[in-house]
Amino acid sequence: MPGLVGLWTTALGEAQSYIEGRKAQPLAKQILIVDDHVVVRQGLKTLFGARSDWKVCGEAANGREAVEKTCQLEPDVVILDVSMPEMDGMEAARRILQLRPNQKIVIHTMHDSKTFTCEAEKIGVRGIVRKSDGSQDVVQIVTEVLNGSRFFPSEAKQKATPASPNDRAVHN
């Protein structure tokens, strides 16, 4: 039955090409979004979902859930609001970084004080993006942090700074 052998050969070749193609594609960066406002989470999910190299792996509505889901999902980056019920974002960031010292965290907030920025930087947060920033700025800052830089705005358009040599590799 030469026809059947040819059919099997073609099917196997197509399967192998599919598998090899899947292996060649880089894995999407996993993002956990944490905000107590559903509309904010939905907006960020839509914004990040427009990129084929990013995937929202989970959502949380408070700091306690943020800690749990970060440990469970092990995202590449956590986008974390500050003002939330049960546990605020700064305390959640502290706890996450105690459990996962190399976790990349970007604070997404309306707070804009030097004291707040210094505190976030001191505890190990990798970046801050203001809720008043445009969507392109949000994507830019998250990209910089995913690429190993830090971003702490002192003015509207501050450049990202490379992470210090003491930073260790992210858990993947």
Task: Say whether domain 27-159 belongs to CATH 3.40.50.2300.
Answer: yes
Least confident of 5-9, 128-132, 138-142: 5-9
pLDDT at 113: 77
Question: Chain-wide mean pLDDT for the chain?
Answer: 82
pLDDT tens digits along 101-128:
999 999 998 877 788 888 999 999 999 9
pLDDT at 105: 98
Give the residue carrying structure tokens 């899947």: 22
pLDDT tens digits along 4-46:
555 555 555 565 655 555 554 568 999 999 999 999 999 999 9
